[in-house]
Structure 1
Amino acid sequence: MLITNLEYLPDRKIVRHIGLVQGSTVRAKHAGRDFMAGLKNIFGGELKGYTELLNESRDEAIERMMEQAKQVGANAVINVRFSTSSVAAGAAEIFAYGTAVVIE
């Protein structure tokens, strides 16, 4: 399945527009990662535990979006975007969405 953040595909023809597809995941912070993040706030540097958590969350949201696209008969998702929101103290949602299409 082709996934892109472009609004159209310059080298492909869209033969059918299906509509919005989406995928999301809600993740909570890990106590050990919070401790290490607290130390990094003092000394500075990348919060690798959080970077890893967000990468895993984006991948899962994309997989769920792709699964929904397959279920509606799409072979591509264009104009893909991400959004995040706080759901509860220490938990956040990663949301991926785009337009499901069929391309030649």
Structure 2
Amino acid sequence: MLRFKFEAEVIHWRGPSPFFFAPIPRPYAEDIRRISKEVTYGWGVIPVEAMIAGVAFRTSLFPKDDTYLLPLKDKVRRMIGITAGDPVSVDITVGPARR
């Protein structure tokens, strides 16, 4: 497992399936890549547990432009009251998916 904290600005992906993300800072991307084969369950996605403003949730990181994106589900964003452009402080644990 790998655990770290980071600060990021929430982005809105306006692709075919709009979604909000917190980009992982590039210095952590190499650490994630190093353990990715041990924890991925396919397609390069990486299971994580994250906490923002005291709200814990499970999701999967998506690889993008030499780093990863942390998806922010609408339910989580509403509980925290964040949207695109807002700064967030994230505590994240990368590890194998729970079955």
TM-score normalised over the length of structure 1: 0.29
Higher strand share: 2
The structure with the largest helix share of the pair is 1
Higher RCO by CA contacts (8 Å cutoff, separation 6 or greater)? 1
